[in-house]
Amino acid sequence: MQRCGISEVSSALRSENVELLLFLRDSTDNEAIKLRKLAEEKGINVREASRRDMWRMARLNDSNEPPPVLALVGRDPEAEIDQILSSGGVLWLLAGARYPVNIGFTIRTAEVSGARAVFVDGKLSHSEKKSAKRASMKAHRFMPVHWVDGGEIVGLARASGFRVISLEDSGDLEPWEVDLTGDVMLVVGGERDGIPSSILQASDSVIRVPMAGFVPSYNLQAPMAVVAAEALRQRAQ
């Protein structure tokens, strides 16, 4: 979903659905300046980022110099729920998550693995939501994140043709034994109480990541990362 550098971004502007362009702040690169003008003429959202952020976010870094431009392709960070559900792909639901840092880490994991959007069912204050966004390393700027009622969004997803696959210790299948392609909503539960039983009952499959240690569970984002990577692997085949 990222196009990196002048050549890739130029090609994307000709043939792909570019939702956002991110330019290196104060860049004097003539080709980047031309691309910015073209993007503004097309009505594409344009933002700027620091040298450090551009280098950190770039998919390709062949030197210490960051690329002058990055493009976000195929995913609208401002998409509303109905747009998201009509677009298909991989969605994540964090059902009952409480800790802002964990929520931020999971948003980042979902974004980097190509998810369409993240839904969060968690009772957080305004300041806690801001903390979660900070912990996401700005991933929320490049993917829709909506705070929702978990049961309602599962119902809407199923009505829109999504399969619902929950990740829980009680699961009887491992991630690589389940089809994670097509339109799927992947669900992880809160740190303390897990996924609500009503959502588990509405799930098409319940999967678990194998464990072999004494401690009875992983941290929230660890099994999510395993499933996100497996979904990415399956969808790339």
Q: What residues does each domain of the chain span?
A: 2-73, 81-236
For residue 19, what pLDDT is reported? 92
Class level of CATH domain 81-236:
alpha beta
First CA to last CA distance, the chain: 17
Q: Is the pLDDT of residue 62 over 80?
A: no
Beta bridge partners of 95: 121, 189
For residue 168, what pLDDT is reported? 92
Q: Give the dihedral sign, CA 13/18/19/25.
A: negative
Q: Which residues of 71-90 are buried (b: 16+ CB within 10 A; e: fewer)?
A: bbbebbbebebeebbebebb
pLDDT-wise least confident of 84-93, 128-137, 170-179, 222-231:
128-137
Supply angle C-alpha 18, 21, 23, rounded to 5. 160
Same fold, 2-73 and 81-236: no
Q: Which fold has domain 2-73?
A: 60s Ribosomal Protein L30; Chain: A; (3.30.1330)
As a three-state string, the secondary structure of the chain is: CEEEHHHHHHHHHHHCCEEEEEEECCCCCHHHHHHHHHHHHHCCEEEEECHHHHHHHCCCCCCCCCCCEEEEECCCCCCCHHHHHHHCCEEEEEECCCCHHHHHHHHHHHHHCCCCEEEEECCCCHHHHHHHHHHCCCHHHHCCEEECCHHHHHHHHHHCCCEEEEECCCCCECHHHCCCCCCEEEEEEECCCECCHHHHHCCCEEECCCCCCCCCCCCCHHHHHHHHHHHHHHHHC
Q: What is the mean pLDDT of residues 127-145?
A: 89
**pLDDT class of 110 with cuts at 50, 70, 90:** very high
Average pLDDT over the chain reads 92
Contact 35, 21 (CB under 8 A): yes
For residue 204, what pLDDT is reported? 96
Q: What is the mean pLDDT of residues 146-160?
A: 96
Cut 0.85: pTM above it: yes
For residue 124, what pLDDT is reported? 84
For residue 43, what pLDDT is reported? 93
Taking each helix axis from N to C end, the angle separating 221-236 and 100-112, rounded to the nearest 10 degrees, works out to 10
What is the phi/psi pair of residue 212, to 5°?
Answer: -140, 5
Q: What is the mean pLDDT of residues 72-76?
A: 91
**pLDDT class of 156 with cuts at 50, 70, 90:** very high
